[in-house]
Structure 1
Amino acid sequence: MPDDPTTPRTAAAADSHSLIEVRGARENNLRDISLDLPKRRLTVFTGVSGSGKSSLVFGTIAAESQRLINETYTAFIQSFMPSQSRPDVDALHGLSAAIVVDQERMTANSRSTVGTVTDAFTMLRIVFSRLSTPYVGPATSFSFNSPEGMCPRCEGTGHVTDIDIDQLVDRDLSLNGGAITVPNFSVGNWYWQVMAQSGLYDPDRPLRDFTEREWDDFLNKPATKVSAGSLNTTYEGLLVKVRRIFLAKDRDALQPHIRAFVDRAVVFTTCPECDGSRLAEAPRSATVHGRTLPECAALQISDLAEVVRGIDDPSVAPLLASLRGLLDSLTDIGLGYLSLDRPSGTLSGGEAQRVKMVRHLGSSLTDVTYVFDEPTTGLHPHDIQRMNGLLLSLRDKGNTVLVVEHKPEVIAIADHVVDLGPGAGAAGGQLCYAGDIAGLRASGTLTGRHLGHRARLKEKVRTPTGALTVKGADLHNLRDVTVDFPLGVLTAVTGVAGSGKSSLVHGYLAKEDGVVVADQSPIRGSRRSNPATYTGLLGPIRNAFAKANGVRAALFSANSEGACPRCNGIGLVYTDLAMMAGVASVCEQCEGKRFTPEVLAYTLHGRNIGEVLDMAVEEAAEVFTGGQARAILRRLSDVGLGYVRLGQPLTTLSGGERQRLKLAIHMAQESSVYVLDEPTTGLHLADVDQLLALLDRLVDDGNTVVVIEHHQAVMARADHIIDIGPGGGHDGGQVVFTGSPAELVAAGETLTARHLRTYVGG
């Protein structure tokens, strides 16, 4: 039974200054939850996917903290801020300022790098401004974001845009033969006529036979008056005209076929002047201890830390100490394989979260509530130990740390555990347990029962039916890797973060014919998309509504005739606040139901289309029991998405949920090679068993499954393991083991072998 939140457990607990008190939380599926959370402690929230963890931690506690902070601003300032409604909760007491450290990818701004977002590059710039030979100037002189520091050619971005000429023309053809492949330049078109009749070159001669002068006129001649046939007009070289009529316009304003052409034709190349360093000549060539700033920024962070240790100068001693501490923290958290010049937009969600975490470690703030969303995502068991240390460091600075997590290694270090459930969606939202870890183990809850659960090592593995061979792989840190991926079996690709797993699998295996990739990347589409539209489930549902009511099926699409005219079928009205974050509010006309009242009057099995789209997959499976709808719903349940609502916007799904949704779609195809990227992300310990059963079923049906995975249960149940390492960055990139899980446990000496050995032995 959960602790009674109204009964003080200790004298300290009775003090309201030591508790966050939650009373009557009903956000989303929460069922009137009341509980106390100890402040300045580490609390881990557990429960199956969809049990209500995020609704409690992010949607209630963190959201109300942010709303109350916003209310301290003047009404004028608040008018420029996103409007935040009060969470559905009776009372919240003892809140402190909440900082959410989530897995949202960082900005794709081309000027943002690991060095700029962590301030490590700022510190390095100051060191160079004080110690460089020759002396260049103040710290801004070493900044690629300042006019005095940036390369004048690329303006500090490190790359320049160029046009791939071979996407514009076929050099083997003449103009009369259709050599120009640019939209609106086909033979006979006005643009084509001006060029073909300009008299600057022979329109019957293949382009590759043009003289140097003719080729330059054809491509680069500036606007010039010419006689084209009987008309006097203006001639422009092809490149000049393409830049003016296509590239000078907003990409999103272009017609789709022209936008596709622009995407093909425009390429980004490394700036030839600064060689991608982004800096002007003086700052990029000045040295400290024989190294330039671009050389330092390109070093692996763990190596840069050693370089900085070798710099000893009293004038910058405090700064060097801070920089060393920051670089060591990045290394300790498992990011030592990154470099400061790595664009922040290229980081994975897990990497981005860990970078944000390190930033907060150096903060002088205390008594803050830090909220983390599965901080172990993307981490090898070896790296989880380091993550735990950082979570405890934040707590020991006097902060309250709230963590949504499934990994038993993190649950084990908690001062307090809150377990929600017992199921997902409508079957969840209840407080199953609140207390210490020992009490959780004895509680009899689903989480408590699985804490000590271990997947058994697979002793008899499947026999491969063949192999896909990758030869000479050298992408990123891979070192001329040649390896076989066996067919007809379940293969786990393992290794610490940054070892080269993704480079090998996504860079090579995923490009082979017949390979289907289901990863955690955002699903293309707008905020209108949902599981029903993405999987094709809406089609049979619309047809069933139409048949039952004798009307057109298009009425039951929120993207077509039946859509609410006020919100265009989105259910929300978005207000653009220019430079501020946009505001979304529930449409007042349809009250978020997305359809017109006339459409909502039609029913099927006693429900209207809005009510059907609000159903969870498992509930819908009880209503739609035949045909295509039944098959799609069954696959969604098989991949563990039974709790997801049919009309839930895809933008609200986690990375793990997106991956499982993609897998559900691909399962309808003929036998293939499936590539999955950490499919256990976001899964409760009990759900991992269900996933393993699904993977086994896929293989037994004649498929090949390759998973990039850190979860030891998946490793133990695999037929074959490919371990990449031995470390991350330049310490990785090699195949350090291939074979069965039993062979790895028996004879392996890698980090993966040691942790798997402990897992199956524990």
Structure 2
Amino acid sequence: MDMSPTAASTPPVHPADSHELIRVVGARTNNLRNVSVELPKRRLTVFTGLSGSGKSSLVFGTIAAESQRLVNETYSAFVQGFMPRQNRPDVDVLDGLTTAIIVDQERIGGNPRSTVGTITDANAMLRILFSRCSEPHVGPSTAFSFNVPTVSGSGAIKIGDKKAKKATFESLGGMCARCEGMGVVSDVDLTEIYDETKSFTGGAIKVPGITPDGWYGRVYGGSGLFDPDKPIKDFTARELNALLYQEATKIKVDGINITYEGIIPRIQKSMLSKDIDSVQPHIRAFVERAVTATVCPECDGTRLAEHARTATISGISIADACRLQISDLAQWVRSLDEPSVAPLLASLGDSLDSFVEIGLGYLALERPTGTLSGGEAQRTKMIRHLGSSLTDITYIFDEPTVGLHPHDITRMNGLLLQLRDKGNTVLVVEHKPETIEIADHAVDLGPGAGAEGGTICFEGSVAGLRASNTLTGRHLGDRAALKNQVREANGVLQIRGASTNNLDDVDVDIPLGVLTVVTGVAGSGKSSLIRGSVAPLADVVTIDQSAIRGSRRSNPATYTGLLEPIRKAFAKANGVKPALFSANSEGACPTCKGNGVIYTDLVTMAGVVTRCEECEGRRFRPEVLEYTLGGCDISQVLALSVNDAAEFFGGRTRGAEDAKTPAAHTILLRLADVGLGYLRIGQPLTTLSGGERQRIKLATHLGDKAGVYILDEPTTGLHLADVANLLGLLDRIVDSGKSVVVIEHHQAVMAHADWIIDLGPGAGHDGGRLVFEGTPQSMVENSTTLTARHLAAYVR
């Protein structure tokens, strides 16, 4: 612990200084142990420490959460009723807070209509530009929006004192009528909708949620539009149309007035209108089986009606503009000479230039937001803040360098400093030394992770952090060494003519039996090459950065399948049913429904979470806790760390030899192998950091019987000290006879590779080509690519 005057032992703040600091006293969110810290305003402060050390709990769970809660309370009770409920963080004092803007890695999704252009101001400005300057001239800007349909109708219009007259009106939108602005049309495989040999009441319908004994079963079966007891193959054309395609119509079922519509329109509204990645797994599986999407033949995927597609400026339509790479679109906008809209062109040009500055110039405005990576999503969110006139804001970033090549980190650092220099407070949770170096102030948490973290190990300057004896301080200057000897491949995966996205007819061989690292700047084509040509192959498992979906009840034990052998072991030892040992089933405490806590909704006030008094937070019925295994009840077992649970179920805990459960022990060893030995196996997934969740996903796949493992930036969320552990794990996977392909920017992983495949030389249409393949040693000695230069500067 650093005890210098700038460390956590700083003297009490004088009133005159209180407006220059954010002061936290006694923070206990998640694993924080009465943390107190003072952060200088209008400075860039970086938060470091192991994944799970408490960084996010302090920055996001305490400072950001309280700032947002206080801002929300300034709104009227009516408005607060529509806002998410936020609990007050467990902290004694929070002084000096300003409005917090969180720029995190949460994916931008949930709406398939959302694109890079629509979530920024770029599309809105383009629509105005085309409404003013395009030929043939189309007046309203809504005429260029694929989210606005053309609506016609009639109604009474009253002008001044004149009597109301009936008139027709038309609201001109830009939505393609054929695909309704989606760019794709869906064809449904009816054999996946129903089994024609069965009747409705006999279970003919295969659509999730529509069962004979459910609500929809009552609606369809009682509609009177078809015979529910007759096999569907015997339906008349009218009956089949009513079941499948009937438009919304009012009917009465069991004396209740309801709206009836066919199964296909219901699927369109309840399933196909949502982001496929946001729906439940069983619904996603159904959609992928039953629905095939093809490019809309009417609009050619542009989503736009004919009048919007054919109006042009200098031969470019708005659809053409949205398909251009943003860096090219910026140049086109700057080339336009339209004095009547000069301010608009300047503003649009600045917005597009921001994409380029932030390393996203390779994107197109038409790119669906659901396809962006976490790093791309975070940088896209930054766009709206770079030109903001607001000052004295607290900007909070969660690893803004995620997904960035070392070449691009310098530009990201410049943007962070730009926000600071406008008079804002910038708080950054980060592991990359290149970004840690630019901070004005550093706060290091630890000393370990989970229960072993949650304290301030150092607070002061970056130079002081480097000189300290904390884990971060000791590793801040780490550099890697090239391997003396690399493995020899025992075969290759041939890729020929790869042309997915921006790939330019790439031919390359992926060596087998070795560690291969695929490199290149963001947007160079790395993921397109591997996911498009390798991931679809048999015997390949892909561990990407897609989010782990889980509720408050989900934990490492449930997600990894660990709970199943644990429940069976308890059941066998006590001669009872396994369902008793599930907090989601028969064993759940009836008061808290197995949550362990009571969630109290106070409507317009922040909700309150309190420990359940009935089960004292243990989640189970009292009679369930009387059953033991190895001297422990089920709640005590779920409170064990991964390491302790591995000892317990390995039969190595004194007095608990009878708890030996090989199936559970195997899963626990995999969790420990990925560096999660400190986690409690019953800890809610909602309390875990992003890095921890990614490693849980990796652990679940370690037992897969695949020959090739693909990992997408596995160093995401890893502390400098953990990277070496990751490399050891990758070596063990390869040495077990597997092939490992890693998409990665971290130079330490590159240096450890047996083979490097480098794509570039740039991003977007400036990338997509193979610029180097060979050993790390050969790259450092013989290549001049961006990756080669940064690797050469990094290695010892």
TM-score normalised over the length of structure 2: 0.83
SS in 2 for 1:269: strand
Q: 1:64 and 2:66 equivalent?
A: yes
In the alignment, which residue of structure 1 is the partner of 2:518? Answer: 493
Q: 1:754 and 2:789 equivalent?
A: yes
Letter in 1 for 2:768: G
RMSD across aligned C-alpha pairs, in angstroms? Answer: 3.3
Q: 1:682 and 2:717 equivalent?
A: yes
Letter in 2 for 1:7: T
- Given candidates 239, 257, 265, the residue that maps to 1:248 is 265
Measure, in 2, the Cα distance between the counterparts of 1:282 and 1:258: 36
Q: CA deviation at 1:274?
A: 2.1
Measure, in 1, the Cα distance between the counterparts of 2:587 and 2:203: 45
SS in 2 for 1:304: helix
In the alignment, which residue of structure 2 is the partner of 1:417? Answer: 442
Q: 1:161 and 2:185 equivalent?
A: yes
- Asked whether the 8 Å contact 1:150–1:156 carries over to 2, the reply is no
> What are the equivalent positions in structure 2 for 1:20-99 lying under 5 Å apart?
20-99=22-101
Q: CA deviation at 1:629?
A: 2.5
Measure, in 1, the Cα distance between the counterparts of 2:119 and 2:137: 26
Measure, in 2, the Cα distance between the counterparts of 1:624 and 1:233: 58
SS in 1 for 2:501: coil
Measure, in 1, the Cα distance between the counterparts of 2:475 and 2:316: 53
Q: CA deviation at 1:757?
A: 0.9
- Given candidates 381, 390, 396, the residue that maps to 1:371 is 396
Could you list the runs of 5+ residues in structure 2 that have no partner in the other structure?
Answer: 150-171, 205-224, 247-261, 273-279, 652-661
In structure 2, the CA distance between the partners of 1:293 and 1:702, relative to structure 1 (3 Å rule), is: same
In the alignment, which residue of structure 1 is the partner of 2:771? Answer: 736
Cα-to-partner distance string for 1:303-332 (whole Å, 9 max, x where unaligned): 001001101222222221111111111111
Moved more, 51-60 or 143-152: 143-152
Q: 1:536 and 2:552 equivalent?
A: no
In structure 2, the CA distance between the partners of 1:617 and 1:490, relative to structure 1 (3 Å rule), is: same
In structure 2, the CA distance between the partners of 1:240 and 1:276, relative to structure 1 (3 Å rule), is: farther
In structure 2, the CA distance between the partners of 1:277 and 1:575, relative to structure 1 (3 Å rule), is: farther
Could you list the runs of 5+ residues in structure 1 that have no partner in the other structure?
Answer: 170-180, 194-222
In the alignment, which residue of structure 2 is the partner of 1:151? Answer: 175
In the alignment, which residue of structure 1 is the partner of 2:197? Answer: 186
Q: 1:392 and 2:417 equivalent?
A: yes
Letter in 2 for 1:409: E
In structure 2, the CA distance between the partners of 1:7 and 1:652, relative to structure 1 (3 Å rule), is: closer
Measure, in 1, the Cα distance between the counterparts of 2:405 and 2:484: 23
Q: CA deviation at 1:745?
A: 0.5
Moved more, 590-599 or 392-401: 590-599
In structure 2, the CA distance between the partners of 1:607 and 1:514, relative to structure 1 (3 Å rule), is: same
Measure, in 2, the Cα distance between the counterparts of 1:149 and 1:79: 32
- Given candidates 4, 7, 10, the residue that maps to 1:7 is 10
- Asked whether the 8 Å contact 1:104–1:353 carries over to 2, the reply is yes
In structure 2, the CA distance between the partners of 1:537 and 1:292, relative to structure 1 (3 Å rule), is: same
> What are the equivalent positions in structure 2 for 1:103-118 lying under 5 Å apart?
103-118=105-120
Measure, in 1, the Cα distance between the counterparts of 2:449 and 2:673: 15
> What are the equivalent positions in structure 2 for 1:313-462 lying under 5 Å apart?
313-462=338-487
- Asked whether the 8 Å contact 1:183–1:258 carries over to 2, the reply is no
> What are the equivalent positions in structure 2 for 1:271-286 lying under 5 Å apart?
271-286=296-311
In the alignment, which residue of structure 1 is the partner of 2:291? Answer: 266
- Given candidates 676, 700, 711, the residue that maps to 2:735 is 700
In the alignment, which residue of structure 1 is the partner of 2:498? Answer: 473
Measure, in 1, the Cα distance between the counterparts of 2:675 and 2:400: 21
Q: CA deviation at 1:474?
A: 1.1
Q: CA deviation at 1:276?
A: 2.0
Cα-to-partner distance string for 1:101-140 (whole Å, 9 max, x where unaligned): 1111113312211111111111111122222122210322
Measure, in 2, the Cα distance between the counterparts of 1:152 and 1:654: 42
Measure, in 2, the Cα distance between the counterparts of 1:571 and 1:485: 49
In structure 2, the CA distance between the partners of 1:480 and 1:462, relative to structure 1 (3 Å rule), is: same
Q: CA deviation at 1:237?
A: 8.6
- Asked whether the 8 Å contact 1:490–1:719 carries over to 2, the reply is yes
- Asked whether the 8 Å contact 1:81–1:581 carries over to 2, the reply is no
Q: CA deviation at 1:239?
A: 7.2
In structure 2, the CA distance between the partners of 1:233 and 1:472, relative to structure 1 (3 Å rule), is: closer
In the alignment, which residue of structure 1 is the partner of 2:156? Answer: none
Moved more, 652-661 or 377-386: 652-661
Cα-to-partner distance string for 1:220-265 (whole Å, 9 max, x where unaligned): xxx999xx99x99743496775445532335879999999666423
SS in 2 for 1:597: coil
Measure, in 1, the Cα distance between the counterparts of 2:579 and 2:201: 41
SS in 2 for 1:89: coil
SS in 2 for 1:249: helix
> What are the equivalent positions in structure 2 for 1:620-699 lying under 5 Å apart?
620-626=645-651, 627-670=662-705, 672-699=707-734
Measure, in 2, the Cα distance between the counterparts of 1:667 and 1:257: 24
Moved more, 606-615 or 257-266: 257-266
In structure 2, the CA distance between the partners of 1:454 and 1:297, relative to structure 1 (3 Å rule), is: same
- Asked whether the 8 Å contact 1:8–1:14 carries over to 2, the reply is no
Identity %: 64
- Asked whether the 8 Å contact 1:419–1:447 carries over to 2, the reply is yes
Letter in 2 for 1:159: G
In structure 2, the CA distance between the partners of 1:700 and 1:63, relative to structure 1 (3 Å rule), is: same
Q: CA deviation at 1:566?
A: 4.6
In structure 2, the CA distance between the partners of 1:140 and 1:591, relative to structure 1 (3 Å rule), is: farther
SS in 1 for 2:645: helix
SS in 2 for 1:511: coil
Q: CA deviation at 1:156?
A: 4.8
Moved more, 232-241 or 729-738: 232-241
Measure, in 1, the Cα distance between the counterparts of 2:186 and 2:336: 40
Measure, in 2, the Cα distance between the counterparts of 1:85 and 1:137: 48
Measure, in 2, the Cα distance between the counterparts of 1:511 and 1:152: 33
- Given candidates 95, 100, 120, the residue that maps to 2:102 is 100
- Given candidates 315, 319, 337, the residue that maps to 1:312 is 337
Moved more, 57-66 or 528-537: 528-537
Q: CA deviation at 1:334?
A: 0.9
TM-score normalised over the length of structure 1: 0.87
Measure, in 1, the Cα distance between the counterparts of 2:601 and 2:719: 38
